[in-house]
Structure 1
Amino acid sequence: MESRDKAETIRNEKVVNCLYQNRNALFRLVCFPWGGGGSTFFAKWGQDIPNSVEVHAIRLAGRESRLDEPFASDMNQVVDEIACALLPIIQGEHFAFFGHSMGSYIAFFTALHLKEKYNLEPVHLFVSSISPPCAQLCFLKDDMCAGQIEFLLKKMGGTPEDFVDDEELIQESVTKVLADLHILKDVIYDTHSKTRLSCDITCFSGSEDIPVDMEAWKDVTSGNFDSFVLPGHHFYLLETSNTSFIKKYITKSLEISVLTS
């Protein structure tokens, strides 16, 4: 039994990256990466976020320390794995989800799964830069080729200058994005589904991003809804000022949720 528990702990730590542990925090903020992304960017949020929040970042198969693992085959596989890894962290705790782009979908479907199977729900869902799964994706297609993905990555402003000139890094990123697009191909959510969120939802997007219907997110919950447009492209959150705004807003929202609950 002890060896089994240890194996599960190791497995969970592979899936959930917490660089700055703060077990006395009032909230657990779980962040979900964009398509082709890893956990490091969000895990570093824990370094300078207020002490009331402990940050956890999801690490998907096929990247970072899980590079030797095959990519997930579908959204159900991704959600099942994440839910199992999160349960020891969020049970009995106040927790919230933040997802950027494809990460918003994984966060959303993980929240639905946790509510349906374990009667657990985040106090707040923060989503970024993508229409909800009940709205048509205007630029993501499962049959996109590597060249189209590379063009899209550059157009959306999420590639640093040194990345653009490194063909090996470009190909690695394109491979991950294509794998993640495969996960999205059958994603759909009926707004009349028997499982519906009741938590508040806040949306963030970039002012120069490809147009998306962020307002449609209000239809997937019975909770309150808010939306913010920040300066920048699809990866506007890579800008320090935008990251600072998001972290401050998340912290304030979570602290207010305790006072009003």
Structure 2
Amino acid sequence: MSDKFLNCLFSKPKAKFALICFPWAGGGSNFYAQWGKMFPEFIEVCGVTLPGREGRFREPCSTDTEQILQDTCTALINRYPDRDLVFWGHSMGALYSLDTALRLKALHHKQPVRMFCSGISAPHAPERKISGSRVSTMSDSDFIEFLKKLGGTPEQVLSDPEMMKLFIPPLRADYVMMEGFSSQIGSEPPLSCPLHIFDGEDDVKHNLKAWEDVTSGETTTQFLPGGHFYLKEPSNQSYLISHISKSLE
């Protein structure tokens, strides 16, 4: 299970921390797995690979949120029974990482020692309540219009019919899966780990303040130059890797 879900290109058996990176909608794990060579030896990096992507491309994309969360937790516990876990998630990956953290705590009495969430409003924020049709009921053309309004998907992808044939199945599956993320945030924060929140200066405005309700631990917020995929810029990528590393020293 862990071999399918967790893509680790640079194994570090003596690392104290396992940095688990959750994909954005339609994304894979290789972008993050490459980070492993840039982190110090005390941090091992794994990208989460969902069905239908990269090494799992022969599997059908899944919209079963419950099964995905259960399988993710099982993979993490099997591979890292004693390692300190650190979660990073951008856009959909932030919501996915939070639901995984809540499930881990409920089922295994374990939570990340630190979390990094990026590029999206907190799950319980009013901004996350998208009006109109659910993605699961949209036609392909309506779904493409939905993506255009939402922002974040490169225009060269949206305007290329052949590319969209490849991207629509995982993108649609992920947005349907997002409809299943519950992330129940009550009057008391469900987590206690420190939480660092990042966003692109030129991205659409997100409700980052609401992320503070997720944890009783320290929270910080920082903006970096760029739009929704600011983290792909080499300078921002280097900054994030340095920031995460220093926070774990």
In the alignment, the residues of structure 2 paired with residue 115 and residue 212 of structure 1 have an alpha-carbon distance, to the nearest angstrom, of 27
Shift in CA distance, 199/111, structure 1 to aligned 2, threshold 3 Å? same
Structure 2 letter corresponding to 1:244: S
Q: Determine whether 1:199 maps to 2:193.
A: yes
| Residue 221 of structure 2: aligned partner | 227
Structure 2 letter corresponding to 1:13: D
Q: Determine whether 1:170 maps to 2:170.
A: no
Q: Determine whether 1:209 maps to 2:209.
A: no
In the alignment, the residues of structure 1 paired with residue 77 and residue 53 of structure 2 have an alpha-carbon distance, to the nearest angstrom, of 22
Shift in CA distance, 160/186, structure 1 to aligned 2, threshold 3 Å? closer
Contact 1:112 1:195 in 2 (8 A): no
3-state secondary structure, aligned to 1:60: coil
Moved more, 68-77 or 30-39: 68-77
3-state secondary structure, aligned to 2:28: coil
In the alignment, the residues of structure 2 paired with residue 37 and residue 139 of structure 1 have an alpha-carbon distance, to the nearest angstrom, of 21
Contact 1:74 1:184 in 2 (8 A): no
Superposition map of 1:1-261 within 5 A: 11-136=1-126, 137=128, 142-143=134-135, 145-152=142-149, 155-156=151-152, 159=154, 163=157, 166-192=160-186, 196-255=190-249
Structure 1 letter corresponding to 2:167: S
Shift in CA distance, 103/206, structure 1 to aligned 2, threshold 3 Å? same
**Is there any run of 5+ residues in structure 1 with no aligned partner, and where?**
1-10, 256-261
In the alignment, the residues of structure 1 paired with residue 178 and residue 185 of structure 2 have an alpha-carbon distance, to the nearest angstrom, of 18
In the alignment, the residues of structure 1 paired with residue 102 and residue 189 of structure 2 have an alpha-carbon distance, to the nearest angstrom, of 7
Q: How many corresponding residue pairs? A: 242
3-state secondary structure, aligned to 1:72: coil
How far residue 165 of structure 1 moved from its aligned partner, in angstroms, is: 6.5
3-state secondary structure, aligned to 2:98: helix
Shift in CA distance, 17/160, structure 1 to aligned 2, threshold 3 Å? farther
How far residue 18 of structure 1 moved from its aligned partner, in angstroms, is: 0.2
In the alignment, the residues of structure 1 paired with residue 188 and residue 207 of structure 2 have an alpha-carbon distance, to the nearest angstrom, of 23
Task: Please report the TM-score for the alignment, with normalisation by the length of structure 2.
Answer: 0.89
How far residue 251 of structure 1 moved from its aligned partner, in angstroms, is: 0.8
How far residue 190 of structure 1 moved from its aligned partner, in angstroms, is: 3.1
How far residue 75 of structure 1 moved from its aligned partner, in angstroms, is: 2.1
How far residue 174 of structure 1 moved from its aligned partner, in angstroms, is: 2.5
Contact 2:52 2:61 in 1 (8 A): yes
How far residue 71 of structure 1 moved from its aligned partner, in angstroms, is: 2.1
In the alignment, the residues of structure 2 paired with residue 104 and residue 14 of structure 1 have an alpha-carbon distance, to the nearest angstrom, of 20
In the alignment, the residues of structure 2 paired with residue 30 and residue 14 of structure 1 have an alpha-carbon distance, to the nearest angstrom, of 14
How far residue 48 of structure 1 moved from its aligned partner, in angstroms, is: 1.4
Shift in CA distance, 248/138, structure 1 to aligned 2, threshold 3 Å? farther
Task: Please report the TM-score for the alignment, with normalisation by the length of structure 1.
Answer: 0.85
3-state secondary structure, aligned to 1:125: strand
Contact 1:150 1:174 in 2 (8 A): no
**Is there any run of 5+ residues in structure 2 with no aligned partner, and where?**
none
* Identical-residue share of aligned pairs (%): 36
How far residue 195 of structure 1 moved from its aligned partner, in angstroms, is: 7.9
How far residue 63 of structure 1 moved from its aligned partner, in angstroms, is: 1.2
In the alignment, the residues of structure 1 paired with residue 155 and residue 4 of structure 2 have an alpha-carbon distance, to the nearest angstrom, of 27
